[in-house]
Amino acid sequence: MSFRTALLLLVAASSAHALTADGKHKLVFIAGKPSHPPGMHEFHAGTMLLTQCLKDIPNLTIDRHDMGWVKDEATFADADAVVIYADGGKGHPAIQGEHLETLRKLIAKGVGFGCMHYGVEILADNGGKEFQEWMGGYYENAFSANPIWDANYTSLPAHPITSGVKPFTTNDEWYIHMHFRPAFGHGDKPASDGAAKFVPILTATPTDATRDGPYVAPKGPYAHLQAEKGAAETTLWSIERADGGRGFGFTGGHFHKNWGNDDQRKLVLNALVWVTKLDVPADGVTSKVTEAELTQNLDVKAQPKPKAPQVKK
C-alpha cells in the first residue's frame, strides 16, 4: 500500500466518525415551523418526544433545533448525522439560502442524512438529485402521491432499523411512489448501484381504492399510480453510501398520535440511532410514551372552523 493510499484511507476513516469532544456520536435533529391543524405536522412536539426517548442511548448526543434550521451552523462541525422533520416542497429547509451547499459539504465528509414525512418532498430541479444521492430518493409532486391509508406492514427485513419491531398497522399519510434512484426501481426490493446499498424497510400494498384517490393534494387520481394496483410501496427505506454515510427516508409521521404506536416509534428511533453510526440495541430502542406525553409541547394552532350544517332542500 502506498503512503498516499494509506493517507486517503486514514482521512476517510476519521471523517466517517465526527465524534464530539466527549467522544459521543452527534445527531443534529431539525424540526420545521408550525403548520397544518392541531395534531398534524407537530414537528416541535415530535422531535421533543423522540429526543426524550433516546436519552438513555449510550454515546449519543442530540442537538435539537426548531423553526427549520440550526441556530448556529458551527454545530455541524462534529455532527455524524442531520435529520429533518419539517414541511417540504419549495419551502423545504434544505433549499433555503445556502443550506443545500452546507449539507453538500457535510455529506462529502460521510455525514448521515435523513428526512421525515413532508421533509422527504423536495423540488425535482432543486434538491431532487441531491436527495437521491444522499438518502436514496424523494417525493416528487405529481409523480408521488400522499393518500391517507391503513398501511399493514406484515413482514420486516433483517436490518438494524427493524430490531425488536413487530408487524403493525397504522393509519397515516403514507406517501407512495417515491422517486428513487434509477437502479432502485420501484424501491420495494434491496438494490445497489455501486454508489449506495438500498434496503426497503417498510413495504405495504395500498388498496385499489387508495390508488384511485382522492389523495390529499393534488387530489388526483394519477393514471400511473392506478396502473400499479396490487404493487407494494416502500414508505421507509435506508441506504449506505459509498462515502461511508448512511441515509433514510420515512414518509409517515403526519399524525402526531402515531408516535404512541410502539412499533412505529421504535422503527424511527432505531433509524435515528443507525443513521448516526451507532449500533442499534439488539431489541431496538426501548421507550414508553403515555397519552399525557403525547399532548406535551404541541404547537399553538388555531382550531379548524366547524363546517356549517347543510340544509336539505
Of the ranges 6-20, 56-70, 210-224, which one carries the lowest mean pLDDT score? 6-20
* pLDDT above 70 coverage of the chain, percent: 91
288 domain-assigned: yes
- Residue 79 CA to residue 139 CA, distance in Å, equals 25
pLDDT digits (tens, 9 = 90+) for 272-306: 999 999 999 999 999 999 999 999 999 998 776 66
pLDDT digits (tens, 9 = 90+) for 14-36: 444 567 778 899 999 999 999 99
125: Cα within 13 Å, side-chain hemisphere: 0
| CA dihedral of residues 32, 43, 115, 185 (deg, nearest 10) | -120
Domain range spanning residue 284? 11-294
| Model confidence at 42: pLDDT above 80 | yes
Provide the pLDDT confidence category of residue 246 given band limits of 50, 70 and 90: very high
- Residue 15 CA to residue 177 CA, distance in Å, equals 34
Arithmetic mean of pLDDT over the chain? 92
pLDDT score, position 23: 87
277 domain-assigned: yes
Mean pLDDT over 135-151 rounds to: 98
Beta carbons of 106 and 154 less than 8 angstroms apart: no
Alpha helices by DSSP H, the chain: 3-16, 43-53, 99-108, 128-135, 208-212, 223-226, 262-275, 291-294
pLDDT digits (tens, 9 = 90+) for 76-119: 999 999 999 999 999 999 999 999 999 999 999 999 999 999 99
pLDDT score, position 137: 98
| Model confidence at 307: pLDDT above 90 | no
pLDDT digits (tens, 9 = 90+) for 234-243: 999 999 999 9
Provide the pLDDT confidence category of residue 37 given band limits of 50, 70 and 90: very high
What residues pair up with 144 in beta bridges, in sequence order? 141
Number of domains in the chain: 1
Beta carbons of 205 and 234 less than 8 angstroms apart: no
CATH of the domain at 28: 3.40.50.880
pLDDT score, position 22: 83
Question: What pTM does this model have?
Answer: 0.91
Q: Which of 104, 95, 80 is nearest to 23 (CA)?
A: 80
pLDDT score, position 119: 98
* pLDDT above 90 coverage of the chain, percent: 88
Distance between start and end Cα atoms, the chain: 87
pLDDT score, position 110: 97
236 domain-assigned: yes
2 domain-assigned: no
Task: Give, in order, the Cα–Cα distances in Å from 92 to each of 130, 139, 143, 162, 173.
Answer: 13, 12, 18, 28, 18
pLDDT score, position 55: 97
Q: Which of 32, 66, 31, 39 is nearest to 303 (CA)?
A: 39
308 domain-assigned: no
130 domain-assigned: yes
| Grid cell in block for residue 195 | 454508489
| Model confidence at 6: pLDDT above 60 | no
Beta carbons of 211 and 228 less than 8 angstroms apart: yes
Using the structure block, give the residue that is written with the C-alpha cell 433555503: 96
pLDDT score, position 11: 36
pLDDT score, position 154: 97
pLDDT score, position 21: 75
95 domain-assigned: yes
